[in-house]
Amino acid sequence: MNFLNQLSVWLSFQISIIFLVGIPFTLFLWSIKKRNNAIKTLLSNYWKISLLFFISLILLIGKYNFALVITNISTLLMTISVWFWHDINDELKEYNFSDIFATTIKVWRWSLTFVSFNFLIQSLQNISCLYFINSDECEIWLKPSTNLYFFIKSLFNFLFGANFTEPVAKFLGLFGLLIYILGLIQWALIKLPKSGRNSGFSQYGRN
């Protein structure tokens, strides 16, 4: 993997972290302060879906071969989740451009969509890493999870007095993935047929 490709991968991951985690966390706190139920519901659902992204980071720490596939699936699901709800989309259409908060949400949704597809395109340029992350040329994809690894390792040692190793990370990641899939299936089979693409935010009152 040449230097420009390595730099491109590194930038893609860093930008993704900002738009997938940093900005939505700030917007979620902002929605609580503004008491905007539509946007708070949008971001609450977004964070539920985003658990898969954090599971994929654990799998990257564990060097699970298909971890990058799961990362891409998670970013696509996160993008879909911010456009999915009809009632929230209708609510956002009612806000004027002068409403800074609502406009920020709209800009973030489009930015998130762009970042997600850019991440996918970047991954496809290193397509072998999608099914074999342990090759030397895929090492750059593992580096962004290094800081998370050291944090979890320290926390794991403090709480349990044990070492957080790659096999442990792989086991926890796969276990988390199983629970996530079961939860997603339950939602698709039980909740989705009942509520459809209605988030139900209006039961808390409209702004």
At 152-168, the pLDDT tens digits run 777 777 666 667 788 88
Whether 114 has a pLDDT exceeding 70, the answer reads: yes
> How far from 35 is each of 28, 74, 102, CA to CA, in Å?
10, 28, 13
Predicted TM-score of the model (pTM): 0.88
| Calpha distance 2→85 (Å, rounded) | 42
Tally of structural domains, the chain: 1
Contact 41, 200 (CB under 8 A): yes
pLDDT at site 201: 80
Q: Which residues contact 123 (CB under 8 A, 6 or more apart)?
A: 68, 71, 72, 129, 130
Contact 54, 169 (CB under 8 A): no
Distance from the first to the final alpha carbon of the chain: 51
Contact 64, 174 (CB under 8 A): yes
Query: How would you class 174 by CB atoms within 10 Å of its CB: exposed for 0-12, middle for 13-18, buried for 19 or more?
Result: middle
List, for residues 24-64, the tens digit of each pLDDT value: 999 999 999 988 899 999 999 999 999 999 999 999 989 99
User: If pLDDT is split at 50, 70 and 90, which confidence band does 146 have?
Assistant: confident
pLDDT at site 17: 85
User: If pLDDT is split at 50, 70 and 90, which confidence band does 80 have?
Assistant: very high
User: If pLDDT is split at 50, 70 and 90, which confidence band does 204 have?
Assistant: low
Domain of residue 98, residue span: 3-204
> How far from 108 is each of 1, 22, 143, CA to CA, in Å?
31, 11, 26
Upper half-sphere CA count for residue 63 (Cβ side, 13 Å): 11
Contact 64, 173 (CB under 8 A): yes
Contact 115, 24 (CB under 8 A): no
